[in-house]
Amino acid sequence: MAAPALPATPALGADDGEAASTSAPVRAGLRNRSPRRRTRWVGLGFAALPLAVYGLVVIVPLAQSIQYSFYKWDGIGPSTWVGFDNYVTFLTDPVLRSTFSHVLVLIGFFSLLPIALGLLSAALLTRSKQPGMAVFRWIFFLPQVMTTVVIALVFKRIYAPDGPLNEALRAIGLDSLTRTWLGDFTWALPSLGMIGTWVTFGFCMVLFIAGTSAIPPELYEAARVDGAGPVREFFAVTLPGLRGQLAVALTLTITASLRAFDLVWITTHGGPGTSTLTPAVALYKAAFQNPQVGLAAAIGVVMGVLCLLIAIGITRISERD
């Protein structure tokens, strides 16, 4: 008996061939995409708890502060909707508005002066290697590891009428220059500013020294070959090479001056009068002494927006070619 004939295999047509040729890359793409998708979900799973904590600790209080800023509320009784009145009060009240001028003075002491001194120190320390430079850097960086409360108490004693500063002036015959530094309407704010300069100078210096050591030495050699002196070398090589460090220093020091509270509160409480009143101290007084929770929330929102805009502006400028 003859064996049964096997069914003929149909020949692949043009359409079937194209489908077979295109389905293989699609399947390969799906296989490659699945591990990426799983990895993405695993990453989101690990980040879920930190994000939830961040939202609970930061985002929710921030939203509540924005909400409170539109109400007149003493923190205990019923609240009353006032719209933007708290913001208008903060921007138009003479006492509260003066805090902006005080902040501008503090920016000069907390930011501009320490950065200038830090750049000068970094340029001198990196240009000539002298023994004991590590100790020098450690001494000036010391304020960064001390709490602001301790620093404020130390300088409060230094600035006292019978403190070391006045005693030193009397010892060299400059009795006419002695004064109650933190109780003088004219000198209280600059005295606070000098504390801020001492605190932030070490940070700026160490930051700039680290940035200068990362600049390729070939750039300095090329500048010297072109006949550049120390000043031109600084402006042509060192300063452009410290663009990132300058952005970090400006952002941190300016926002620190905007948020200055503990140093001011411990030394002067915003006085004498309102000569050293800052937005942070005004916020504290509005929230806990008066109390005007809505006004305090409005002050906090405005200062938070200012800090954010300053940080974004400095970052955008530093990233330009």
Q: Return d(Cα 93, Cα 311) in angstroms, integer.
A: 27
pLDDT for position 42: 80
Q: Identify whether the C-beta of residue 257 lies closer than 8 Å to the C-beta of residue 316.
A: no
The Cα angle at residue 271 between residues 268 and 275, in degrees rounded to 5: 125
Give the count of beta carbons closer than 10 Å to the beta carbon of residue 194.
15
Q: Return d(Cα 222, Cα 225) in angstroms, integer.
A: 5
pLDDT above 50: residue 151? yes
Cis peptide before 190 (omega within 30 of 0): no
Q: Return d(Cα 318, Cα 242) in angstroms, integer.
A: 10
Q: Return d(Cα 282, Cα 96) in angstroms, integer.
A: 7
The tens digit of pLDDT for each residue in 174-205 reads 999 999 999 999 999 999 999 999 999 999 99
Contacts of 71 (CB under 8 A, 6+ apart): 79, 80, 81, 82, 293, 294
pLDDT above 60: residue 23? no
Q: What percent of the chain has pLDDT over 70?
A: 87
Q: Which residue has the tokens 């929770």?
A: 293
The Cα angle at residue 70 between residues 68 and 73, in degrees rounded to 5: 55
Gap between the terminal Cα atoms of the chain:
89
pLDDT for position 145: 86
The Cα angle at residue 315 between residues 257 and 200, in degrees rounded to 5: 30
DSSP secondary structure code for residue 80 in this structure: E
pLDDT for position 44: 81
Q: Return d(Cα 242, Cα 225) in angstroms, integer.
A: 22
3-state secondary structure of 11: coil
pLDDT for position 17: 47
Residue boundaries of the structural domains of the chain:
52-92, 100-279
Q: Residue 109: what residue type?
A: F
pLDDT for position 321: 59
Quick one: pLDDT band at residue 217, thresholds 50, 70, 90?
confident
Out of 1.10.3720.10, 3.40.50.2000, 3.30.110.30, 3.30.479.30, which CATH number does the structure's domain 100-279 have?
1.10.3720.10
Q: Once rounded to an integer, what is the mean pLDDT over residues 129-144?
A: 77
Q: Which residue has the tokens 């009143």?
A: 277
pLDDT for position 34: 65
Give the count of beta carbons closer than 10 Å to the beta carbon of residue 226.
10
Q: Return d(Cα 172, Cα 226) in angstroms, integer.
A: 49
The tens digit of pLDDT for each residue in 249-306 reads 999 999 999 999 999 999 999 999 999 999 999 999 999 988 899 999 999 999 999 9
pLDDT for position 27: 54
DSSP secondary structure code for residue 110 in this structure: I
Q: Which residue has the tokens 């138009």?
A: 92
For residue 264, give both structure tokens.
Answer: 């001011």
Contacts of 19 (CB under 8 A, 6+ apart): none
- Stated as kind and residue range, the H or E segment containing 182 is none
> In sequence order, which ranges of 128-268 are alpha helices (DSSP H)?
133-141, 148-158, 164-171, 188-213, 217-225, 230-233, 239-241, 243-258, 262-267
Quick one: pLDDT band at residue 19, thresholds 50, 70, 90?
very low
pLDDT for position 83: 92
For residue 172, give both structure tokens.
Answer: 């060299």
pLDDT for position 139: 83
CA distances (Å), origin 70, targets 88, 90, 96, 200: 11, 13, 18, 36
Q: Once rounded to an integer, what is the mean pLDDT over residues 112-138?
A: 82
38-47: string of b/e by CB count within 10 Å (b at 16+)? eeeeeeeeee
pLDDT for position 20: 47
Average pLDDT, the chain: 86
pLDDT above 50: residue 137? yes
Gyration radius of the chain over CA positions: 31
The tens digit of pLDDT for each residue in 24-72 reads 554 545 455 566 777 778 878 888 898 899 999 989 999 999 999 999 9
The tens digit of pLDDT for each residue in 63-119 reads 999 999 999 998 888 999 999 999 999 999 999 999 999 999 999 999 999 999 999
